[in-house]
């Protein structure tokens, strides 16, 4: 059986694992006050081109979203995001549990449009009763989105401009950032993101680490008392160095970039095979998630030898199916899947 | 330099690490829906003598406390605990962030007394205005406590009885449970705890794992919809198997017990040396944390070669100092420290 | 200048005021533990045909919604409601501030459809990842809605059935209930509502009282410890009798019904005049709020002599306008407005 | 039967009631955007000697405390207050429900000491682990306290200085402020309070109004977006003018001062009688609450003709009893009580 369900089916990249094993019995202070963590923060600052940035490591994505959003919003504010945003759909109400509303925007293949953000804010303050409503206090985007799509540099610049004009922070969920940065044809770099977003996180869990997400804020004053908030959210890892060691490995010798590129290359190889076989796509993704429309009988046949996610019916006889590659996907498995098509 | 600061300075026990490495590139479903996790739950149920128990793995202690307490309390209720309880002092307000008050009881070397719990509840309901006050909705204890002390079986039975008579759950924070179970002379077993507490957790972070805590509820209906609450609290690990694999290793061939005993043996060796040198103790601990009163000049001398925690001044010339051993402490380091005294 | 902005522009009905003045210097216990409150509760139980019902008085609508919803939901649950629901739009995030998500349903002139509720719940539990999502834990409706529309008895029965089959409570926001009960042609009585809803409130603020809303639950066990939650929400009035006295007056000799009918009669008189003048309606309302499409020049002209609310543009040259009558509206003012049309 | 239970047993002062009746059928905009409210705010600003102050009316005390404290604190902060503080004991966890911990200080007849506040803050930041603890983010005091005691001007200046040095706001709960300002021998004026506190409220509920509390902040920027927070807390009265009219009456022609003085005069007359009869006092109060130690048999006898609150046993044969006067207390009732002693 070959698996294309998701990008967190394996442990960590062998190089990450090697570093964890190598340092296993060393003794360091807890909570990220160790040299491995300090070094990893420096590597990330350098990769982001933001030597003054605040970097804080957390364990998982939902936790990171809830903690950052809670830190960025005042009590009367909510977070703008696409209807399909992970925070709106798949985080069990973690944002609302901190007291904040998710204010939804139309989504276009998982993305939001700067014009919609602008209009939302403009209409909000034009409404005479706006003080009775939840104020838009920040914008949440994901890159790649939950649907594998990417913002262009131009789109990102527009979102950033709109947010800065409205004086609200722009926050990017980068759970799969490594696959976005390595996407074919993307014109968005890590430095662009660090420059255009007020806060964002670099996903480790889905891109080579056992777990871990690196929150980056170019201007540290955006996240005052963040350490205490991380603790309050139960997101502070006692053995914080585990995060430092992992991100240290990922940001040494371009590992994060390389493994992102590996996953994307295999996803596009698969995509190409689907194209050649004449299958239609649910949407056009250049990253490690591919959404294809398959006849139900093809699906039945494939499921005998491969696992993947059923995304939803498309008419009577077809279903949208998601195939995901990762840093750990073996080319032979992709070839096997292609042979089955 | 030798280190006795705390029990989370190293990574994981080599056997735990070995299992993580061995399984690293296997593919499993996420969120703990894998066979390693299922197997680890069975091992824990067996060790607890509770074949029907619900077991759920979380990542860290503060997170576990906040999630369990939030799950157990109704909105109008608070949690009873010692003034010195970790949830009252060192969790950055994580309990209050979920909307609940910590109702404090006097502490006796970190422990609470059943009579105080009983009196609190009785006085509460005798007060005519009690509906204007936060109702005591559960009891939080830690075993060992933050001060390394332990409940006797008799004390635990009393607390359990008082809670059951008042119809409120008893919850035990077992961050260092392994060192409590291995303490010299304790008459409290894991099975006693599983029987007497409504919910408790078996600490992994401080006892051999990289991270991880195992929440156990003998009667699963005590924690309805707990999975969703874990997700809402940002406490659901994507690669849940990492927890299953680690607890699987810890509960195979008595590893958890053995490494607890190792730490306790070395702590008591150290204790004995302090006794022989004529030092006084801040309190009598039979577990892996030892609190000794040292002359300030002795401390200055020791600090050149060892690290440990200053707990607080005691008069003008002495300070209480904490020395902590763990599963990873090397006997040679203890011997070195003893030689320095 | 004549005013049709809203239904809370005046103080209280003279009969309500008379009773407040009459009892002003009497001495009673606080927090609603007085005989006036007890008597008012009985009158409401009787009017509802629910002799066992729990009745609790609160001060205002947003406060009542937040307190009741917080009381009815478990932590992992959200509240289903129309996109246009007051709790979703105009309560400044009061529901989310208690930790709960508002789960939106399509709205049809402010109402929700039983089929949509049913589909939402069915689809939710069919989704394999539903434990990662906010569970639908109750249904919120308003009657009349924010748009003045009403459920039919048949629709209400359907909603009630769907909720009971799904085992979630049905809660009705009755801020303007008096105007709904008095609407021309409605087949829904107070007794129907009390029977079909698990919890609802009878609005006083907009229907004759200075302030005050009466929460009713036919089965008191639906709202355990509600008094403490009311206190926790800052919704407990020290001089609780003020609420009892007012509702006592409103539910004596059919006052609540009579003043509701008065407002509706004048609203329909106004409606009839609009019809006769050939104006179109934004939607068909049988209650005290009328939404008419007026040419912008007509609006400019009217605004010189009357106040009302601009609801939103309709095309280039027309605007939807809201006219509201109340228990206090004078027939001469309605006649004046009609004369201006 | 004569009543000395509490100071909220009657409705409103006749002059306040007269103004409510007089304006009852006038039409005004809602939510406090009316002229009566604007005028009342001006009167209060003038009485406080703070022409730029923000003034916002809320309905009740617990609601006001929760809303103000929520507005003043950042998420990682808690509120310092006496162990006996109303927010710590009798508000059903309203503060914690907004996510904040109450950090307790020793109480001395209901008061806190500047030295204790200073020490708390100093020790907090000296603790190396302070980022794991709830930061002291503001100070809550009440004046008069729950025990009827008062701060001296010197004490208040000290508290204010300590808070300003620590850069945390000082907030005063003035539920019974009118009785404090009128106390015999007090050297604290309303202007002092407005100058020394960052935020405070002038209590109406217990001092002449049907209900209502006036929050005052000399520097409005202390309470940004406060209107939305008031709404979010369910504390925004639809017919906001009711608050404006009441406070307008109270702050016209010195009514608030006069009725405060009336209550205090009668309380001290009662006190003098107790002194003359040789009874001991639980503490020395110069305001409208008197706490006397009475033999249990005296209490039994008094209870046949008067009501009052039993505060708690004092030894075997005595009980501390609270007698409360108010703006509404009749001198003849006080004389009757004295005759009974």
Q: How would residue A147 be classed by pLDDT, with cut points 50, 70 and 90?
A: very high
**CB-based contact (8 Å) between C27 and chain A?**
no
- Residue C102, CA distances (Å) to A92, C94, C147 in order: 12, 10, 19
Q: Encode pLDDT of B208-239 as tens digits.
A: 999 999 999 999 999 999 999 999 999 999 99
Q: To 10 degrees, what angle do helices D241-250 and D14-22 make?
A: 140
pLDDT at D130: 97
pLDDT at A310: 94
Q: How would residue A45 be classed by pLDDT, with cut points 50, 70 and 90?
A: very high
Residues 6+ apart with CB under 8 A from B113: B105, B106, B155
On the CB side of D111, CA atoms within 13 Å amount to 19
Nearest CA in chain A to B93: A232
Q: Are B197 and B191 in contact (CB under 8 A)?
A: no
Given C71, C75, C98, which is nearest B229 (Cβ)?
A: C75
Instruction: Say if strands B289-295 and B318-324 run parallel, antiparallel, or are unpaired.
Output: antiparallel
Q: To 5 degrees, how large is the angle CA B236–CA B239–CA B242?
A: 100
How many residues belong to chain D?
Answer: 341
Instruction: Say if strands D289-295 and D280-281 run parallel, antiparallel, or are unpaired.
Output: antiparallel
Q: Shortest CA distance to D48 belongs to which of D239, D218, D277, D176?
A: D218
d(CA C237, CA A308): 57
Q: Shortest CA distance to A73 belongs to which of C97, D94, D54, C133?
A: C97
d(CA C265, CA C250): 19
Q: With beta carbons under 8 A apart, name residues in chain A contacting D99.
A: 98-99
d(CA C78, CA D127): 40
Q: With beta carbons under 8 A apart, name residues in chain C contacting D27.
A: 3, 9-10, 328
Cis peptide before B223 (omega within 30 of 0): no
Neighbours of chain A (3+ CB pairs under 8 A): B, C, D
C93, A100: Cβ pair inside 8 Å? yes
Q: Shortest CA distance to C209 belongs to which of D242, A225, B301, D18?
A: D242
d(CA A62, CA A93): 10
Nearest CA in chain A to B245: A11
Q: Domain D14-254 belongs to what topology?
A: 3.40.640
List % helix, strand, coil for chain C (3-state, nearest 5). 45, 20, 40
- Neighbouring-strand partners of residue C213: C58, C203
d(CA D209, CA D249): 9
Nearest CA in chain D to B99: D97
pLDDT at C193: 98
Nearest CA in chain C to B131: C228
Given B8, B14, B237, which is nearest A238 (Cβ)?
A: B8
Q: What is the CATH number of domain B14-255?
A: 3.40.640.10
Q: Encode pLDDT of A177-213 as tens digits.
A: 999 999 989 999 999 999 999 999 999 999 999 999 9
Q: Shortest CA distance to B249 belongs to which of B222, B278, B214?
A: B214
The mean pLDDT value of chain A amounts to 97
Q: How would residue C70 be classed by pLDDT, with cut points 50, 70 and 90?
A: very high
Continuous H helices in chain D: 14-22, 35-48, 61-72, 86-89, 94-97, 114-126, 153-166, 177-181, 190-196, 226-232, 241-250, 255-276, 296-302, 331-340
d(CA A240, CA A337): 39
Q: With beta carbons under 8 A apart, name residues in chain C contacting D30.
A: 6, 8-9
**For testing the chain A interface, which of D56, D131, D224 should be mutated: the one with the most A CBs within 10 Å?**
D131
Spacing of C-alpha A271 from chain mean position: 21
Q: Shortest CA distance to B226 belongs to which of B37, B60, B56, B44?
A: B56
Q: With beta carbons under 8 A apart, name residues in chain A contacting B209.
A: none
pLDDT at B150: 98
Q: What is the CATH number of domain A2-7+257-340?
A: 3.90.1150.10
Given A3, A62, A94, which is nearest B27 (Cβ)?
A: A3
A60, B238: Cβ pair inside 8 Å? yes
Residues 6+ apart with CB under 8 A from B116: B105, B106
Q: With beta carbons under 8 A apart, name residues in chain B contacting A26.
A: 10-11
Q: How would residue A80 be classed by pLDDT, with cut points 50, 70 and 90?
A: very high
pLDDT at C77: 98
pLDDT at B59: 98
D232, C17: Cβ pair inside 8 Å? no
DSSP string, D224-267: TTHHHHHHHTT---TTTHHHHHHHHHHTSTTHHHHHHHHHHHHH
Residues 56-75 of B with CB under 8 A from D: 75
Mean pLDDT of C192-197: 98
> What are the structure tokens assigned to B149, written together?
């002390």
Continuous H helices in D73-189: 86-89, 94-97, 114-126, 153-166, 177-181
Mean pLDDT of C59-73: 98
pLDDT at B148: 97
Q: How would residue C180 be classed by pLDDT, with cut points 50, 70 and 90?
A: very high
The mean pLDDT value of chain C amounts to 97
**CB-based contact (8 Å) between A126 and chain D?**
no
d(CA C262, CA C264): 5
Q: To 10 degrees, what angle do helices D114-126 and D153-166 make?
A: 20
pLDDT at D137: 98
Instruction: Say if strands D54-58 and D213-217 run parallel, antiparallel, or are unpaired.
Output: antiparallel
Percent of chain B with pLDDT over 90: 99
Percent of chain A with pLDDT over 90: 99
pLDDT tens, position by position, for chain D (341 residues)? 999 999 999 999 999 999 999 999 999 999 999 999 999 999 999 999 999 999 999 999 999 999 999 999 999 999 999 999 999 999 999 999 999 999 999 999 999 999 999 999 999 999 999 999 999 999 999 999 999 999 999 999 999 999 999 999 999 999 999 999 999 899 999 999 999 999 999 999 999 999 999 999 999 999 999 999 999 999 999 999 999 999 999 999 999 999 999 999 999 999 999 999 999 999 999 999 999 999 999 999 999 999 999 999 999 999 999 999 999 999 999 999 999 98
pLDDT at B132: 98
The helix/strand/coil state of D336 is helix
Q: What are the contacts of C271-280 at 24+ separation with CB within 8 A?
A: C273/C338, C273/C341, C274/C341, C277/C341, C279/C341
A92, C129: Cβ pair inside 8 Å? no
Q: Domain D2-7+256-340 belongs to what topology?
A: 3.90.1150
Residues 6+ apart with CB under 8 A from D157: D196
A132, D228: Cβ pair inside 8 Å? yes
Q: Are C113 and B108 in contact (CB under 8 A)?
A: no
Residues 133-192 of A with CB under 8 A from D: 135
Instruction: Establish, for the pair of chains B and D, how many residue pairs have beta carbons separated by less than 8 Å.
Output: 52
Closest Cα of chain A to C89: distance in Å? 6
- Residue B233, CA distances (Å) to A234, C179, D205 in order: 8, 43, 40
Q: Encode pLDDT of D46-82 as tens digits.
A: 999 999 999 999 999 999 999 999 999 999 999 999 9
d(CA D264, CA D162): 31
Q: Encode pLDDT of D152-164 as tens digits.
A: 999 999 999 999 9
Q: Encode pLDDT of D252-275 as tens digits.
A: 999 999 999 999 999 999 999 999
**CB-based contact (8 Å) between A227 and chain D?**
yes
C76, B132: Cβ pair inside 8 Å? no
pLDDT at C39: 98
Tell me if domain A2-7+257-340 and domain A14-255 are identical in fold. Answer: no
Residues 6+ apart with CB under 8 A from A200: A171, A172, A173, A174, A177, A193, A194, A215, A216
Nearest CA in chain C to D175: C238
**For testing the chain D interface, which of B88, B93, B102, B310 should be mutated: the one with the most D CBs within 10 Å?**
B93
Per-residue b/e over D6-26, b at no fewer than 16 CB within 10 Å? bbbbbbbbebbbebbbebbee
The helix/strand/coil state of A165 is helix
Cβ atoms within 10 Å, residue C129: 12
**Can you give the C-alpha Rg of chain D in angstroms?**
20
ipTM: 0.97
pLDDT at D78: 98
Q: With beta carbons under 8 A apart, name residues in chain C contacting D98.
A: 97
The helix/strand/coil state of B287 is coil
Residues 6+ apart with CB under 8 A from C282: C291, C292, C293, C311, C314, C320
> What are the structure tokens assigned to B216, written together?
């156990």
d(CA D70, CA D7): 27
pLDDT at C79: 98
The helix/strand/coil state of D197 is coil
**CB-based contact (8 Å) between A231 and chain D?**
yes
The full set of domain ranges for chain A reads 2-7+257-340, 14-255
Q: Encode pLDDT of C201-226 as tens digits.
A: 999 999 999 999 999 999 999 999 99
**CB-based contact (8 Å) between D229 and chain A?**
yes
**CB-based contact (8 Å) between B332 and chain A?**
no
DSSP string, B180-216: HHTSTT----HHHHHHH-SEEEEE-TTTTSSS-EEEE
d(CA A166, CA A196): 14
Rounded to the nearest 5°, which phi and psi values hold at C101? -85, 145
d(CA C193, CA C170): 10
Q: Shortest CA distance to A104 belongs to which of C101, D108, B215, D80?
A: C101
Q: How would residue A22 be classed by pLDDT, with cut points 50, 70 and 90?
A: very high
Q: With beta carbons under 8 A apart, name residues in chain D contacting C27.
A: 3, 9-10, 328
pLDDT at B338: 97
Neighbours of chain C (3+ CB pairs under 8 A): A, B, D
**CB-based contact (8 Å) between D128 and chain A?**
no
Percent of chain C with pLDDT over 90: 99
Given C66, C93, C205, which is nearest D238 (Cβ)?
A: C205
Q: Are D134 and D76 in contact (CB under 8 A)?
A: yes
**For testing the chain B interface, which of A89, A212, A238, A308 should be mutated: the one with the most B CBs within 10 Å?**
A238
Mean pLDDT of B80-89: 98
pLDDT at A106: 98
pLDDT at C90: 97
- Residue A245, CA distances (Å) to B19, B132, B212, C340 in order: 19, 50, 18, 78
Closest Cα of chain A to B115: distance in Å? 31
pLDDT at D208: 98
Closest Cα of chain C to A188: distance in Å? 31
A132, C100: Cβ pair inside 8 Å? no
B232, C75: Cβ pair inside 8 Å? yes
d(CA B281, CA B260): 22
A48's torsion region: left (phi>0), alpha (psi -120 to 50) or beta?
alpha
Residue found under tokens 């608070």? B78
Cβ atoms within 10 Å, residue B93: 28
């Amino acid at each position: 059986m070959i698996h294309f369900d998701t990008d967190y089916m394996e442990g960590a990249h062998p190089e990450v694992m090697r570093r964890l094993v190598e340092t296993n019995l060393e003794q360091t202070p807890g909570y990220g006050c160790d040299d491995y963590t300090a070094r990893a923060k420096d590597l990330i600052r350098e990769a982001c081109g933001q030597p003054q940035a605040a970097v804080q490591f957390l364990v998982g994505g939902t936790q990171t979203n809830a903690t950052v959003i809670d830190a960025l919003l005042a009590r009367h504010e909510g977070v703008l995001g696409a209807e399909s945003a992970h925070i709106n759909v798949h985080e069990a109400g973690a944002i609302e549990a901190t007291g904040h509303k998710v204010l939804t925007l139309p989504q276009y293949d998982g993305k939001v449009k700067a014009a919609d953000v602008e209009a939302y804010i403009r209409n909000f303050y034009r409404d005479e009763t706006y003080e009775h409503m939840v104020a838009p206090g920040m914008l949440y985007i994901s890159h790649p989105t939950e649907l594998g799509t990417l913002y262009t540099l131009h789109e990102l610049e527009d979102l950033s401009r709109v947010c800065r004009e409205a004086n609200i922070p722009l926050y990017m969920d980068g759970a799969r950032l490594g696959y976005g940065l390595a996407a074919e044809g993307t014109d968005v770099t890590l430095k662009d993101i660090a420059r255009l977003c007020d806060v964002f996180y670099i996903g480790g869990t889905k891109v080579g680490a056992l777990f871990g997400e690196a929150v980056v804020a170019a201007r540290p004053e955006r996240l005052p008392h963040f350490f205490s908030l991380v603790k309050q959210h139960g997101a502070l890892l006692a053995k914080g160095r585990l995060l430092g060691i992992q991100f240290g490995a990922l940001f040494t010798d371009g590992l994060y970039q390389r493994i992102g590129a590996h996953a994307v290359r295999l996803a596009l190889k698969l995509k190409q095979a689907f194209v050649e076989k004449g299958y239609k796509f649910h949407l056009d993704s250049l990253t490690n998630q591919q959404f294809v429309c398959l006849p139900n009988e093809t699906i039945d046949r494939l499921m005998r030898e491969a696992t993947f996610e059923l995304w939803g019916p498309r008419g009577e006889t077809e279903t949208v199916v998601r195939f995901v590659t990762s840093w750990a996907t073996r080319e032979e498995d992709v070839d096997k899947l292609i042979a089955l098509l």
